[in-house]
Structure 1
Amino acid sequence: MRALILSLALASLLPLTASAADSTSARRYGTSEALSVQNARLGEVLMVRSVDIKSDKRLNAGSAIGAAVGYGAALEVKGDYRSAARIAAGTIGGMAGTAIQNGMSSRRGVEVYVRALESGKVIAIVQVDDLPIRTGEKVFLTGRGSKTRVVPVEGQR
């Protein structure tokens, strides 16, 4: 009974772990990015198209939580097949947990094509669709290295 309660408690954490890992938002920054200098350059949006952003991780917190839930549920099995039931339930639970978390971490996104005004270089950035970005508007490209966000310039509309 204790194992079942623990398994259910772990399963309740699944939605929290799915959203905690989101680093594709133009509005959300990680602690390593806070109070650090970000490069910013001005650009013009050439095109915006809708995309789906899905997790590409094979293993995640959902895997571990699902395996624990499955194993915990199988602890009640008695008899000759107890070990096999625990292994099977843990494996199935892990697979189900991965599928659930990957499904929960799916987001609506946008692929934004921007021409940097200084260099003329065209780049494409995919991010969560959490800021209104339109073709023809001026934007800032902010970030460092491989993490760059598209942020509309305030007061254009």
Structure 2
Amino acid sequence: VKPVSTNQDDYVDEGDPDHTCVHCGAIMWYGERINKSKYRRKPIFTLCCMQGQVQLPYLKKPPDFLMKLLTGNDKLSKHFQRNTRPYNMVFSFTSLGGKVENSLKKGAGPQMFQLHGENYHLARSLTPNEGGKSAFGQLYIVDTENEVENRSNALR
């Protein structure tokens, strides 16, 4: 897979992920197979489950309160649905970075963006700089007496 740039001439479309791992059922792109020098009708993948060596437990059913926030039509649910990204940010230990493509349509549904080129994660030290604001994992570790307020302030 070649890096994608914002220049239309450099764009490489891998198509839809239309192959399935025989071990875990993950949907994969053909380019993610192992042994790329050989053509295979049924490619073998290791990115997902290491050929069946990794088995993840099924997800538990979310609590009823959270399901109501995710699917409800009341005022609180609508607020939660509009602010999913900031809520996720409050509970993150890293921050995703990269070249963001902003030309995507705005509309109903969750906010989304597209990253081009190399993507990376930013992490900070366990303590903030002198006089600096806490971020990422620091919100949980520094000043545990006020962690809820610290996380709320990170949204402002």
> Taking structure 2 as the reference length, what is the TM-score of the superposition?
0.21
Larger Rg: 1
Higher strand share: 1
State the structure with bigger RCO (CA 8 A, min sep 6), 1 or 2.
Answer: 1
Which structure dedicates a bigger proportion of its chain to helix? 1
In the superposition, the TM-score normalised over structure 1's length comes to 0.21
